[in-house]
Structure 1
């Protein structure tokens, strides 16, 4: 739907949320959108030129949210000159192949979709990451676990990490014995130099108490030097209830890392 209102003429506009709308912002737009602090677009066509125009004109922008928007290829967020850009939310845009983020002031990153390669070249202030990875069942032989591990470097400085159990059990990433690829992944994690020096809280939703999940719980406890709390949330759906808790393994992890409060 085409908007009949000239938003650029509304000087006091601070929050703008649009659904199913054709939204365009020209370069050098009037001062109406320069005070904008929150922009949320749903099911709108988003082009690289449009993103650049938003970031160039909305100099006070703090939050950008894109949900089910039509976009293709690389999504580049160049907010290097922004001093107030704090939050980026990206939900359900499967055609996006890569995310390049240059935002030194960004503090919160929320993502829900298939695993994609991240290029966080300049994201120095990131404190919170919420990742809801979704399996791509249409790609039967596609192994996204490599990208999960490669992307971990982007979150080494966060204070709070929230994710779902897909982070623990991506297809072909179950640490089952006898599988060379999985053994390689496990040894890669054990020998990893990733140190989460800033993270103090991890939340995992959909935890099912599989032993390979506990491997990664132990990985976080060992690599996140400032970790104080790790919360495991089990599925609410009765059909997906987790198996009986492995108290012996949990007690072992707790005894080895007494400074981390592991909650189930």
Structure 2
């Protein structure tokens, strides 16, 4: 099963202003040359928060046994966060907006390690370009993680974190702050300056695993999709372009 294509199929219905009201199961998913559609016998209802939650719940129940290894109590990187998003429907009535759809259909659990590196690097630049009220809106609406401790525990990451750092009686004084923007800036520096004997896949894995307990990257993007909306973010802070434009797929007519 291609999880992204299933999510796109559901979001295509939501984007048109309808939902399936949870009245479907995996047997109603039709796979055709990489595209997923729903059985046309399923009646659509107007989209609202309640019908959306019911659709999310069904997709959650379809995905859960695929992602979750009950015997070993194991879930792939970021997949547990994706399941929790579907279980809770945190965007509510805004779940059919472009930003939330872009976030869900490009969730970090569905991305390759190179795509996650690109997202971190681009997000660093997007946050850095926020100025004045835009920067204030972002810092007000998006929670700041505490991330130094996670990086200090990984030798290769601590080497980048402590580069040119000061030192006093309280310990190291890093050239970073414990903020979202500085976390992304550190990520970009780590991807660039990590030890040469590490492959890019290992470098990204180190960052993702160091931040996996708090799901920093998917949580950050979720906050941007669900909270950084009033007032709306500047035009160049576009989550759809950052994560991958699936909106064209959502505009396709279902056959």
TM over 0.5: no
Q: Which has the higher contact order (CA 8 A, sep 6+)?
A: 2
TM-score, normalisation: structure 1: 0.25
TM-score, normalisation: structure 2: 0.26
